[in-house]
């Protein structure tokens, strides 16, 4: 969080350090990297949700996908409810991650959502898909563990206004 508070003059001076990174320019690079990584995940999750909601529709997505869980121990009603709510959860989480609002809790909920997806996918024995889902899980981990670099976000803006 301290890195986020470097004043504007210091930041401007540090941006001129093109050849030899300084301690502050490395910090700025970490902040930019975090922004790009957070935006990448946020837009990805947002488009997952919006494509399912505004494309075929959340009900159509749930109806199409539910057959994949027929041979699992999961109750049909639970699977139907989860799959119907999933696009809306993805949409909301995607928006919040993209703009960087309530980042700690949004990333935590996103990580728990991917964990639930991994459980369902494991019960289907779809190991290839679990590999992809594990990449999402690792992405959530890195963003949550490096949240101190989340300087370009609505959370940071709110913090600066309160200070």
R_g of the chain, CA atoms, integer Å: 19
> Is there a contact between 114 and 131 (Cβ–Cβ < 8 Å)?
no
Least confident of 7-21, 28-42, 105-119: 7-21
Q: Is residue 10 part of a domain?
A: no
pLDDT digits (tens, 9 = 90+) for 37-56: 999 999 999 999 999 999 99
Q: Is residue 57 part of a domain?
A: yes
pLDDT at 163 (0 to 100): 85
- 99 Rama class: left (phi>0) / alpha (psi -120 to 50) / beta: alpha
Domain that holds residue 158: 31-162
pLDDT digits (tens, 9 = 90+) for 3-26: 575 544 565 555 555 667 888 889
DSSP-derived secondary structure letter, 74: S
pTM of the model: 0.88
Q: Is residue 2 part of a domain?
A: no
Mean pLDDT of 78-85: 96
How many domains, in total, are found in the chain? Answer: 1
Contacts of 72 (CB under 8 A, 6+ apart): 79, 120, 123, 124
pLDDT digits (tens, 9 = 90+) for 126-161: 999 999 999 999 999 999 999 999 999 999 999 999
pLDDT at 8 (0 to 100): 46
Distances (CA, A) of 131 to 9, 65, 108, 140: 45, 19, 20, 15
Q: Is residue 139 part of a domain?
A: yes
* Average pLDDT across the chain, whole number: 91
Residue 36 has pLDDT above 90, yes or no: yes
**Considering only CA atoms, which of 86, 144, 143, 80 is closest in space to residue 114?**
86
Percent of the chain that is helix, strand, coil (3-state, to 5): 80, 0, 20
pLDDT at 10 (0 to 100): 62
| SS3 letters across 118-141 | HHHHHHCCCHHHHHHHHHHHHHHH
């Amino acid at each position: 969080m301290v890195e986020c508070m470097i004043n504007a003059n210091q930041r401007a001076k540090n941006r001129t350090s093109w050849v030899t990174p300084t301690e502050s320019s490395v910090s700025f690079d970490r902040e930019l990297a975090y922004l790009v990584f957070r935006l990448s995940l946020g837009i990805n999750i947002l488009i997952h949700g919006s494509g399912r909601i505004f494309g075929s529709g959340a009900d159509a997505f749930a109806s199409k996908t539910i057959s994949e869980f027929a041979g699992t121990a999961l109750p049909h009603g639970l699977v139907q409810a989860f799959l119907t709510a999933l696009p809306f959860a993805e949409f909301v989480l995607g928006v919040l991650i993209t703009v960087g609002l309530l980042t700690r809790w949004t990333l935590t909920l996103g990580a728990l959502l991917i964990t639930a997806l991994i459980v369902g996918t494991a019960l289907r024995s779809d190991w290839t898909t679990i590999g992809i889902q594990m990449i999402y899980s690792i992405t959530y981990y890195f963003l949550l563990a490096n949240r101190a670099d989340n300087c370009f976000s609505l959370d940071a803006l709110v913090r600066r206004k309160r200070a």
